[in-house]
């Protein structure tokens, strides 16, 4: 089902077409663009509220600026649907986030209008500044460079690093602060309060309008007059607001706040800002979900609702006849509350993902013991380390892909200092439609190489509960190691998952099934695919033993000695990168201990895996049931398999 665009939108195949329109037609373009997004996402799913909120901003930017020569960087990328539709991807927009289709985020390989790939937040200011400096080196002083950053993304340290550098330059950089008080969940922290002070100060806003008009009137009287008014404006901003203006203090000319959903005023302001040199910031107030009532009222729910009925607002969910397994994140959320009721030292930490990680369950039940620190992964880890020094049992819950941003803190602030912080890495493995920026495929390799670190992955929900239980016991907390528990996005396999807690001894695996022809050593939930493959292989006359390793570090050496003593062929299976993963760890064990079995490693190949449904991506990488079977059959029939370690 292809969505039919409105009359004006149907004629816009590039921003050049948009710029041919009269400014009086832009309101209608915004209406049609907003409706096109609603129609598409209701049928095909995807991110929703963020792009609705910046419809006017998307139209105004492409109308005023000479894109793609002028560079737009959207931060974060899920607000860029309108941008994609206006830049030649309207007729293919239905393929957004599907296998082989458009990416859900800006992507340099996809369009010349996507100046920078943006999946993670808070990179726009640094990248746009880099572009501006490069343009100056090329002696191109006309090109504009615009970073559109959400107020949630502004809480990350990298955004402040970029502003700090930009303010000390004369670069042609415009930062647009898209202020809607929301990341996925409501924003937190002092910056949110500061922005609220600015937006609600009637005295300042009245003065701002007067100064803006005066600046316009005096522009005809030369540079000196403009400089005088500019200095007066800066002084008055400082005097009227409770604090001096943060952005002005960093060397950025501050303009606003203005209504970011008023297309007429927005285009006029952007035209004015084009002629003001140097680094500057425009503060735009927008409404996340604007134009769709339910999304305006419940912005967290409608961040990425999936398929829904646009008339009734009913989000469509599959209905099952039998009880279904819960999402791993919900098992985490309920389990941490259960454990915290027993252990008063347990606290939870997450960087701006309370609903995504289900730490919101603890935040509701125990608000004084669960902390959302904003989009600030580095701070989340060191904050956790600080609490751990005082004996708190800290569960630091971060998506695997975002943990990459805090790697130095894991090494320097946790492991070197021998602190038993528990890292729960949600969305480990291939996450699906969010694609390569969000796949959590590197954590096994980058965590297992750090001293004082345990790396584990549960086969199912019961094992996740037991790993969490084991990590908070005094027997572990009194030690010197951190504990990483990685688990995937989505549902597990156990509908009856709330089982009594049992301690898992660190570094122990277990046998799942017997076999005599070869052994499959799996790590994490992929073991369920391996078990299904073993059952089918048995019917084909291949008897495969299956072991759930549970720990990539420390390895179960006793179990491995048993396996290598009994099997000539061994297959390892993981949903992480092959380089440095558990397959590599097992091959290292074999070499170090003088065994000469043949090993075939299955996992994520040395390539960037694009977006699609998880099962499609597992199949592409050969780690679904069919892929495991195919690999085993080929391995059994060939002495020299591609990934084998020879005698």
Pair 429, 524: CB distance under 8 Å: yes
Pair 9, 36: CB distance under 8 Å: yes
Q: Smallest Cα–Cα separation from 512: which of 500, 502, 499, 527?
A: 527
Residues 319 and 328: their CA atoms lie apart, in Å, by 19
- The DSSP 8-state label assigned to residue 500 in this structure reads P
Catalytic one of 34, 90, 288, 598: 288
Pair 42, 87: CB distance under 8 Å: no
Residues 345 and 343: their CA atoms lie apart, in Å, by 5
Q: Smallest Cα–Cα separation from 436: which of 266, 577, 315?
A: 577
Provide the token pair at 634: 């080929």
Query: Which of 1-6's residues contact partners 24+ apart within 8 Å by CB, and which partners?
Result: 1/43, 1/94, 2/91, 2/94, 3/36, 3/39, 3/40, 3/43, 3/93, 3/94, 5/32, 5/36, 5/90, 6/31, 6/32, 6/33, 6/35, 6/36
Token pair 């898209």 is at which residue? 178
Task: Give the bridge partners for 510, in sequence order.
Answer: 548
| Consecutive H or E run containing 82 | helix 81-84
Residues 420 and 472: their CA atoms lie apart, in Å, by 9
377 is catalytic: yes
Catalytic one of 84, 107, 405, 569: 405
- The DSSP 8-state label assigned to residue 219 in this structure reads G
Residues 540 and 557: their CA atoms lie apart, in Å, by 31
Pair 332, 464: CB distance under 8 Å: yes
Catalytic one of 56, 377, 574, 620: 377
Chain-centre distance for alpha carbon 625: 28
Provide the token pair at 329: 């994140």
Q: Where are the beta strands (DSSP E) in 362-514?
A: 370-372, 393-399, 422-426, 453-456, 482-486, 510-513
Residues 521 and 176: their CA atoms lie apart, in Å, by 50
280 is catalytic: no
Task: Give the bridge partners for 519, in sequence order.
Answer: 545, 570
Residues 397 and 370: their CA atoms lie apart, in Å, by 11
Provide the token pair at 348: 């939870």
Q: What count of other Cβ atoms lies within 10 Å of the Cβ of residue 503? A: 12
Provide the token pair at 575: 């949903």
369 is catalytic: no
Q: How far apart are the first and last CA of the chain?
A: 56
- How far, CA to CA in Å, does 194 sit from each of 167, 176, 241, 242? 19, 17, 10, 9
Token pair 């894109």 is at which residue? 67
Residues 215 and 207: their CA atoms lie apart, in Å, by 12
Judged on CB neighbours under 10 Å (0-12, 13-18, 19+), 516 is exposed
Residues 251 and 233: their CA atoms lie apart, in Å, by 14
Please give the positions annotated as active site.
288, 377, 405
């Amino acid at each position: 089902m292809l969505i039919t665009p409105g009359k004006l939108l149907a004629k816009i195949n590039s921003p050049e077409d948009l710029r041919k329109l009269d400014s009086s037609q832009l309101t209608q373009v915004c209406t049609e663009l907003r409706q096109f997004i609603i129609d598409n996402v209701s049928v095909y799913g995807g991110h929703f509220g963020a792009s609705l909120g910046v419809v006017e901003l998307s139209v105004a930017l492409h109308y005023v600026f000479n894109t793609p020569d002028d560079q737009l960087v959207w931060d974060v990328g899920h607000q860029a649907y309108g941008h994609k539709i206006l830049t030649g991807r309207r007729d293919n927009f239905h393929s957004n986030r599907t296998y082989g289709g458009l990416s859900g985020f800006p992507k340099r390989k996809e369009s010349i209008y996507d100046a920078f790939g943006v999946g993670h937040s808070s990179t726009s200011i640094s990248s746009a500044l880099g572009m501006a400096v490069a343009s100056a080196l090329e002696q191109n002083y006309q090109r504009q460079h615009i970073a559109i950053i959400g107020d949630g993304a502004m809480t990350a340290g990298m955004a402040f690093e970029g502003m700090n550098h930009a303010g000390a330059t004369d670069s042609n950089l415009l930062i647009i602060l898209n202020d809607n008080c929301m990341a996925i969940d409501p924003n937190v922290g002092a910056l949110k309060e500061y922005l609220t002070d600015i937006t609600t100060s009637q005295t300042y806003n009245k003065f701002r309008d007067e100064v803006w008009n005066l600046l316009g009137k005096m522009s005809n009287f030369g540079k000196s007059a403009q400089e005088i008014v500019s200095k007066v404006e800066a002084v008055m901003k400082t005097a009227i607001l409770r604090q001096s203006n943060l952005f002005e203090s960093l060397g950025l000319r501050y303009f606003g706040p203005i209504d970011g959903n008023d297309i007429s005023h927005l285009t006029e302001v952007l035209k004015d800002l084009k002629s003001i040199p140097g680094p500057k910031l425009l503060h735009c107030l927008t409404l996340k979900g604007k134009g769709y009532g339910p999304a305006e009222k419940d912005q967290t729910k409608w961040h990425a609702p999936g398929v829904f009925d646009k008339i009734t607002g009913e989000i469509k969910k599959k209905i099952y006849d039998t009880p279904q397994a819960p999402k791993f994140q919900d098992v985490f959320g309920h389990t941490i509350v259960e454990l915290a009721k027993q252990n008063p030292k347990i606290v939870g930490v997450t960087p701006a993902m309370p609903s995504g990680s289900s730490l919101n369950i603890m935040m509701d039940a125990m608000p004084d013991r669960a902390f959302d620190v904003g989009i600030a992964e580095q701070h989340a880890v060191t904050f956790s380390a600080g609490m751990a020094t005082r004996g708190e049992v800290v569960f630091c819950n971060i998506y695997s892909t975002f943990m990459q941003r805090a790697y130095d803190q894991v090494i320097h602030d946790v492991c070197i200092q021998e602190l038993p912080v528990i890292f729960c890495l949600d969305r480990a493995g291939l996450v699906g439609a969010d694609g390569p920026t969000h796949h959590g495929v590197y954590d096994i390799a980058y965590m297992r190489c750090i001293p004082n670190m345990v790396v584990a992955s549960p086969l199912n929900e019961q094992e996740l509960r037991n790993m969490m239980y084991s990590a908070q016991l005094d027997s572990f907390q009194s030690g010197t190691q951190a504990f990483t528990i990685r688990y995937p996005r989505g549902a597990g396999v156990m509908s009856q998952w709330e089982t009594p807690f049992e301690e898992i001894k660190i570094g122990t695996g277990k046998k799942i099934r017997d076999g005599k022809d070869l052994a499959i050593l799996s790590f994490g939930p992929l073991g369920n695919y391996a078990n299904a493959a073993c059952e089918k292989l048995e019917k084909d006359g291949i008897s495969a033993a299956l072991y759930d390793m549970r720990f990539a570090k420390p390895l179960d050496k006793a179990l491995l000695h048993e396996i290598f003593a009994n099997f000539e062929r061994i297959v390892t299976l993981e949903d992480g990168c092959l380089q440095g993963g558990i397959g590599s760890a097992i091959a290292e064990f074999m070499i170090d201990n003088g065994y000469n079995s043949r090993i075939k490693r299955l996992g994520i190949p040395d390539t960037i895996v694009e977006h699609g449904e998880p099962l499609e991506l597992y199949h592409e990488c050969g780690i679904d049931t069919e892929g495991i079977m195919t690999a085993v059959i080929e391995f059994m029939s060939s002495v020299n398999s591609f990934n084998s370690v020879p005698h």
